[in-house]
Structure 1
Amino acid sequence: MKGFLGLVLLAAIWGGSFLFMKVAAGVLGPAVLIEFRVLFGALTLAAVALVLKRNLHFWRYKKHFLILGLFNSALPFMLFAYAVQTLDASMLSILNSTAPFWGVLISVFWLRVPTQKSVWLGCGFGIAGVITLVGLDSTVLDEGAWLPIIATLCATLSYAVASHYTKTAPKMSAFNHAHGNLWGSALLVLPFIWFMPIREMPDTTEISAVVGLGVLCTGVAYILYFKLVEDLGAASALSVTFLIPVFGILWGHLFLQEQIGANTILGSILVLLGVSLVTGLQEKVFPAKAIKES
């Protein structure tokens, strides 16, 4: 029960990240918003590291942290911050769930890993879900939002690249991977502030959104996630993927008055069903052996 509540809390926090970005991106611009996000997240983890007496050794592993920071935070966060200026927060939260599909394609076409038929079926459901989500939404078509949609899918591709990269990365704790990745991304995003400066001075609401995005949705969320991985295992912690869109849609509807159409519900179901098949989560939750013995 404790683990389940932790997953729900984490999904609520990560689902809120799209809400916070929607509130602040238009005023701050993508570069300034994400620089504050990763910086506040890094400072939060630095405070925890100080309490736990964990040494990061950033300069010893600077190349690793810069690579990880690029693909795991800097690039995807910037792309999301760009896309959220056009797309609804709820749509972004659903498209965010497509990262496992990219992971499969990388495994098959780059790493030449054999893949089960159920995984390909899951990819099919995922593609159908994305098409349903954006292809049946006249608002998206009218606003010409295809470039932001492509940017969002590139962001989830970046997550998949980062996931595969960490498998061959230097051995260290998951906490240090998260901590160093944020400092690396802060260095990488910083120069872009000169090309994409702040647009206008933020008000109290927008400042609160930035702080919430950095401290809560990045720093605290990372701590909670790695605690869940430690307590439940990586496979079970992965189920948070299913819950994030639920909260992304809920927060968008409650606080931004975003409409929930039939295509949103159907597209969400197809994407999450696809994620279930791709990750094999349904077999972990309902193993075939257990079914046969029941």
Structure 2
Amino acid sequence: MRLYSALVGLSLIWGLSFVFIKWLVDPIGVWGTVFLRCLAGGLILLPFLWAKRKSIVRPIPWKALLFVGIFNAGVPWGFIAWSETEIHSSTAAVMNALTPICTGLVGFLFFSIVLKRRQWGGIVLGFFGILVLMEFNIVELFNESFIGIGTMILATISYGVASQFTKRHLQETGVILITTCSLFIAAFVGLIGMLFTGSVSRISWDLFSEPLVWLSIIGLGCFGSGIAHLLFYYMVKSGSAEFATSVTYLIPVTAMIWGYVLLEEPITNYLVLGLLIIFIGVYLATRKPRKGKIASSV
């Protein structure tokens, strides 16, 4: 019962994160959103890292952690915030469900991972789901409307690169160390982005007088970027990796509900159909073959 409660709770937190991004990106900008959410998340995890300090692997793989911090948090969260300046939070959440598919594709292209026919079918189906979301208006990806759908695709590709890199180079590194370092590195990425875009001035004391801003920073940073990761790895440890990653199927659903209730975003037929197609694609791309079934038949 605790595992299922954790699963539902995590899907609600991560689904609500897309609403928090929508609330933050307008007053503080794309990179300000990245900076504040990562800083808050990193600070909330510091006591947990301190408690685990004796079990930290030595020497600390700083170069690998730097790479993961940039491509698993800094860059993709910037792309997601950028996307939500143009598309609904619920659409961004549905697009985010492509992450397992892009992870498999990145593994094939850059990490010498062999994909079976079933997995290729899932990848093709997942990208067909994107076309449905776009109402088959593929021209939008090649003009000024690239910001939105296009940047969400880049975010999921970045997640895929970071996931494959983590699996290969950080297998022996503790989860708390990876997550905490990633958040602080991503906060630095956000700060650099703010300096280059001239959005530092957006963060002022007057900004923090807005209750919605505080709520979004706490919800997105402390819960969505910090505590949620602990909840996820609790499910991995107490249940299984497969059980924990099943949250992928729930997040877009809860995000659609949150978006409808809090932002009055429409739930269109194309959105629901695209979501279902992407789900089927994710299932095919990540499903493990049954025991005793030969690989060539998959």
Letter paired with 2:91: M
After superposition, give the CA deviation of every residue in 1:201-240 in whole Å (9 maximum; x if it has no partner): 5322122212211001110111101111111121221111
Q: Does 1:123 align with 2:123?
A: yes
Identity of aligned pairs, percent? 27
The answer for the alignment partner of 1:86 in structure 2 is: 86
The answer for the alignment partner of 1:189 in structure 2 is: 190
The answer for the alignment partner of 1:179 in structure 2 is: 180
Q: CA deviation at 1:184?
A: 1.7
Name the CA shift for 1:74/1:55 in 2 (closer, same or farther; >3 Å): farther
Q: After TM superposition, list the pairs within 5 Å mapping 1:6-25 onto structure 2.
A: 6-25=6-25
After superposition, give the CA deviation of every residue in 1:164-215 in whole Å (9 maximum; x if it has no partner): 1012224211222111111222223222222331547532212221221100
1-structure distance, mates of 2:152, 2:68: 19
Contact 2:48 2:176 in 1 (8 A): no
Which one of 211, 215, 222 corresponds to residue 222 of structure 2? 215
Q: After TM superposition, list the pairs within 5 Å mapping 1:63-82 onto structure 2.
A: 63-82=63-82
After superposition, give the CA deviation of every residue in 1:147-169 in whole Å (9 maximum; x if it has no partner): 22111110110000000101222
1-structure distance, mates of 2:57, 2:243: 30
The gaps in structure 1 that reach 5 residues or longer are 290-294
2-structure distance, mates of 1:71, 1:58: 23
Name the CA shift for 1:54/1:132 in 2 (closer, same or farther; >3 Å): farther
2-structure distance, mates of 1:195, 1:59: 33
2-structure distance, mates of 1:84, 1:12: 19
2-structure distance, mates of 1:3, 1:231: 8
Letter paired with 1:164: Q
Q: Does 1:134 align with 2:145?
A: no
Q: Which moved more, 1:251-260 or 1:98-107?
A: 98-107
- Give the TM-score of the pair, scaled to structure 1: 0.88
SS at match of 1:135: coil
Name the CA shift for 1:288/1:53 in 2 (closer, same or farther; >3 Å): closer
The answer for the alignment partner of 2:98 in structure 1 is: 98
2-structure distance, mates of 1:182, 1:58: 20
Q: CA deviation at 1:107?
A: 2.2
Q: Does 1:251 align with 2:252?
A: no
1-structure distance, mates of 2:183, 2:278: 29
After superposition, give the CA deviation of every residue in 1:68-88 in whole Å (9 maximum; x if it has no partner): 100100000111111111110
Contact 1:49 1:55 in 2 (8 A): no
2-structure distance, mates of 1:149, 1:37: 22
1-structure distance, mates of 2:254, 2:226: 19
1-structure distance, mates of 2:12, 2:268: 21
Contact 2:111 2:164 in 1 (8 A): no
The answer for the alignment partner of 1:292 in structure 2 is: none
Name the CA shift for 1:192/1:247 in 2 (closer, same or farther; >3 Å): same
Contact 2:72 2:159 in 1 (8 A): yes
2-structure distance, mates of 1:269, 1:17: 21
SS at match of 1:195: helix
Q: Does 1:276 align with 2:283?
A: yes
Name the CA shift for 1:66/1:113 in 2 (closer, same or farther; >3 Å): closer
After superposition, give the CA deviation of every residue in 1:10-50 in whole Å (9 maximum; x if it has no partner): 11111111000001101100111110100100001102223
Contact 1:71 1:161 in 2 (8 A): yes
2-structure distance, mates of 1:59, 1:116: 37
2-structure distance, mates of 1:208, 1:226: 25
2-structure distance, mates of 1:111, 1:86: 33
1-structure distance, mates of 2:78, 2:56: 25
Q: CA deviation at 1:144?
A: 5.3
Aligned residues: 283
1-structure distance, mates of 2:276, 2:5: 22
Name the CA shift for 1:174/1:35 in 2 (closer, same or farther; >3 Å): same
Q: CA deviation at 1:63?
A: 1.8
1-structure distance, mates of 2:12, 2:61: 33
Contact 2:88 2:265 in 1 (8 A): yes
Name the CA shift for 1:54/1:151 in 2 (closer, same or farther; >3 Å): farther
Name the CA shift for 1:49/1:254 in 2 (closer, same or farther; >3 Å): same
Contact 1:136 1:263 in 2 (8 A): no
Q: After TM superposition, list the pairs within 5 Å mapping 1:20-59 onto structure 2.
A: 20-52=20-52
